[in-house]
Amino acid sequence: MKRIRATLIDADYVTKEGRPVVRLIMKGKTFFRMYDESFEPYFYVEVEDLGRGKKELAGVRVMDRGKEAVVKKVEEAELWVRGKKKVLLKVICKHPSHVPLLRSEVAKAGSIYEHDIPFARRYLMDRKISPFDEVEAECEGRIIRKIKKVGEGTVQLRALAFDIETYNPRGEPDASKDPVIMISYAGETSGVLTYKEVEGAEFVRRVAGEREMIEEFCALLRREDVELMLGYNSGVFDLPYLKERAERCGIKLAVGRDGGDFKVRRRGMNDVAKITGRIHVDLYLVARFLGIIGAIKTPQYTLKKTYAEIVGKEKEKAISKAEVWRLWDDAERRRELADYSLDDAVSTKELGDKILPMEIELSRICGATLFDVVGASASQLVELLLMRRSSEKKMLIPNRPDDEEAGRRKVPVKGAYVKMPKAGIYDNLAVLDFRGLYPSIICSYNLDPFTLEKEGEETENIYLSPAGHAFSKEKKGIVPMVLEEILDKRARVKKELRKWEKEPESSQYRQLYARSQALKVLANSYYGYLLYSRSRWYSREAGESTTAWGRHYIREMEKKAEKAGFEVVYMDTDSLFLGLGSKGKKEVKAFLKEVNESLPGKMELELEGFYPRGVFVMKKGSGRKDVTVTGAKKKYALLDENGRIKIRGFELVRRDWSKIAKDTQMAVLEAILKEGSKEKAKNIVKQRIEELRNGKTKKEDLVIYTRLRKGVRKYEVISPEVAAVKKAQAKGIKVEERGLIGYVITKRGKRVSDKARLAELAEDYDANYYIDRQILPAVMKILGELGYEEDDLKMSGKQSRLGDL
């Protein structure tokens, strides 16, 4: 027996003589594999009568296409079931693939639970080890006898980013015909593999042909002993394309450590490729995840845009995809393609360096492999951690809801409170907000599906929510338990982070920062998870109570602020905008101190910032003559103390408005907020209108972008963007139907839809549309506030309205 220590990197399982063997990838001095034969698949069954259930289950045997699945053993297991202790039957079988075969037969004896947890993940849960933990194993050869966590691992994985270029004379490349022409890589070394002469590029290695290039790429992976492969969209494009090309060249795509290729597994909406013996991460999936949770904001998730957003600089090289084949065929310009290809790989690598640390922390925290975490949705991450902790606490993991229970979604839960602002320009505002309002409510009131007490059965010791639901104070629910762990951990990480603040480039700072981000992502997802119709720990009552308490506390703050003499200008969910009037920062801070003393433990109202000036605009349709001056919610602009403008909700932050309208709105806002100059604002607008009339506006400033979520035939209402695509198709032009559509409103036609043309096909533009439906509505919101009429802006010195025609 030998003892080894290493960092756990990955886990899966293989089958040996019909038995599952867990395979762990570890890294100590080297990267190596270990096996554990001692773990068996199991699930639980809840039965009415233990004795009878045992008898029924022990005899279960299913034959399916020559494959036999039997129940190997049945044991009793005491667990917490929906908040109460209960004895269930633990059914052990021979192979994970037998579980689905046994399911329907077993269901005859009782209700089946925990039958859909992947084998290797179950192993990690039960052994209480996580990827990126430092583990100690007792072993004989490569066989593990015992394993435990001894600390946190710190590893540097040998990473290599790659990218392929394909020949595409007909637009989209077709793997059955079009060869791969270049493979670029960036790791410890970087370069480009290809098979045509590229002059003067010392980073290019020329081989005999496509087959040799693919072989050389695989050889490179072996030579460099790559542990982590990074790609961008590589799971759906590069790898499958390479595989098909390899087959057509009569070779195998030997990218795996075992000489094999990769397997694609579908996870939710995503396809994820798994390479044996290496970790493959498709950074596109990570980028999209960051977009969905709101951590980044790009209109599209192309490598170029994602790179700019995350790395914070523009990607060096850019060529049009349609150009690729031309550059390849042109010996003079082939160098450009090689440069571009290399730049893609290098950028992918840089992107990985930035965003992988957070994924690694998520993997560590949730106890699931990188493979499981990359491409997982926020709710899946929440669930991974809940399942692990639930199982540790001997609590039965609830099943995913079946389709019938998805009827949960029917009646929406009442959400947050948003106060109607009065339109106008304000001086001296203070913005206050609750840090993590919903998470702190869930923790403070023990909100959980199984701490809920049924009506009429409430005990003494309860929290009664404003929504009328009672939650036990005594037994702690798993949801608040795990959430509290996350919040506490994050508080500690942030404290530690402050110690490293002066060295933001240090590995310590970076790791702590990534961890803090990961914890934040998780904490913010719990409320949504409670109300997500397909979650295992769904609880309408807990979700409803979260928002009800949220409304309660924010309204409470409103009352107190008013009583303290502030004008409460606006509120949304967890924030308050106070008009200071004659008061100053001192009074705001005193107010915060006072209210925070009255708030329960985890809840805290914080100062977000002071703003010398702010604008709230009128809601469309509520005219100025209307005495109420109703403002629009979720639309405002603030000028901070450093002269920076913070804008929310305005047309200019939306991608479905033209650049000309957005730029003009921004210019007006700046003139008003920074200089307080109506005159300047007015002149800007007049100038832009003039340019439009004279046909001087650039086409790209007129493009309106909208995303089509479904194919054009599926729309019942033909909106301009749908009409534009249809018109292009009628001309025989191939257009990607789903995705971001850019269109321009032209002169021909009556309705807006008739006038819309895809941006690349538009030959003219309708100045009146851009004036009346883009610039003026965007700008009048702000200038209308100052007593301007549309005509003041439309008429220039030289022209009268009559002259327009």
Nearest partner of 368 among 612, 615, 122, judged by Cα = 122
Nearer to DNA, 510 or 534 (CB): 534
Q: Angle formed by the axes of helices 238-248 and 210-223, to 10°?
A: 120
Nearer to DNA, 45 or 522 (CB): 522
Beta carbons of 579 and 429 less than 8 angstroms apart = yes
- The minimum distance between CB 647 and DNA, in angstroms, equals 7
What's the CA dihedral at 449, 453, 454, 460 to 10 degrees?
180
Name the residue type at position 119: F
Using CB under 7 A as the binding rule, whether residue 418 contacts DNA is answered as yes
Q: Select from 337-345, 415-423, 468-476, 672-680 the region that touches DNA (CB under 7 A).
A: 415-423
Instruction: Please report, as residue ranges, which positions from 631 to 690 form the binding site for DNA (by CB under 7 A).
Output: 632-635, 647-649, 653-656
Q: How far is CA 541 from CA 158, 200, 455, 462, 519, in A?
A: 48, 68, 12, 14, 25
Using CB under 7 A as the binding rule, whether residue 720 contacts DNA is answered as yes
CA 752 to CA 746: how far, in whole Å?
A: 9
Beta carbons of 420 and 571 less than 8 angstroms apart = no
Instruction: Please report, as residue ranges, which positions from 742 to 771 form the binding site for DNA (by CB under 7 A).
Output: 751-754
Using CB under 7 A as the binding rule, whether residue 527 contacts DNA is answered as yes
Nearer to DNA, 396 or 745 (CB): 745
Using CB under 7 A as the binding rule, whether residue 718 contacts DNA is answered as yes
Using CB under 7 A as the binding rule, whether residue 531 contacts DNA is answered as yes
Instruction: Please report, as residue ranges, which positions from 222 to 281 form the binding site for DNA (by CB under 7 A).
Output: 268-269
Beta carbons of 708 and 721 less than 8 angstroms apart = yes
Contacts of 479 (CB under 8 A, 6+ apart): 386, 442, 447, 448, 449, 526, 530, 537, 539, 542
Residue 184, beta-bridge partner list: 163, 192
Using CB under 7 A as the binding rule, whether residue 414 contacts DNA is answered as yes
Residues binding DNA: what is the number (CB under 7 A)?
A: 68
Residue 743, beta-bridge partner list: 704, 758
Q: Select from 89-97, 158-166, 292-300, 341-349 the region that touches DNA (CB under 7 A).
A: 292-300
Using CB under 7 A as the binding rule, whether residue 716 contacts DNA is answered as yes
- The minimum distance between CB 550 and DNA, in angstroms, equals 9
| b/e sequence 379-406, b meaning 16+ C-beta within 10 Å | bbbbbbbbbbbbbeeebbbbeebeeeee
Nearer to DNA, 321 or 738 (CB): 738
- The minimum distance between CB 713 and DNA, in angstroms, equals 11
* DSSP one-letter code for 374: T
Helix (H, G, I), strand (E, B) or coil at 193: strand
- The minimum distance between CB 728 and DNA, in angstroms, equals 16
- The minimum distance between CB 737 and DNA, in angstroms, equals 11
Hunting for tokens 């103390």 — which residue is that? 641
| b/e sequence 136-158, b meaning 16+ C-beta within 10 Å | ebebeeeebeebeeeeebebebe
Binder among 142, 499, 620, 734 for DNA (CB under 7 A): 620
Nearer to DNA, 606 or 792 (CB): 606
Instruction: Please report, as residue ranges, which positions from 368 to 397 form the binding site for DNA (by CB under 7 A).
Output: 377-380
Contacts of 676 (CB under 8 A, 6+ apart): none
Instruction: Please report, as residue ranges, which positions from 557 to 576 form the binding site for DNA (by CB under 7 A).
Output: 572-575
Using CB under 7 A as the binding rule, whether residue 621 contacts DNA is answered as yes
- The minimum distance between CB 654 and DNA, in angstroms, equals 4
Q: Select from 346-354, 496-504, 587-595, 717-725 the region that touches DNA (CB under 7 A).
A: 717-725
Nearer to DNA, 71 or 576 (CB): 576
Instruction: Please report, as residue ranges, which positions from 115 to 174 form the binding site for DNA (by CB under 7 A).
Output: none
Using CB under 7 A as the binding rule, whether residue 547 contacts DNA is answered as yes
Nearer to DNA, 251 or 295 (CB): 295
Binder among 83, 415, 612, 742 for DNA (CB under 7 A): 415
Residue 205 dihedral angles phi and psi, to the nearest 5° = -110, 120
Using CB under 7 A as the binding rule, whether residue 713 contacts DNA is answered as no
Angle at 697 between CA 696 and CA 698, to 5 degrees: 115
Beta carbons of 214 and 244 less than 8 angstroms apart = no
Using CB under 7 A as the binding rule, whether residue 433 contacts DNA is answered as yes
Site residues for DNA per CB under 7 A: 268-269, 292-294, 377-380, 409, 412-416, 418, 433, 524-525, 527-529, 531-534, 543, 547, 572-575, 617, 619-621, 632-635, 647-649, 653-656, 705-710, 715-720, 723, 740, 751-754, 773, 777, 781
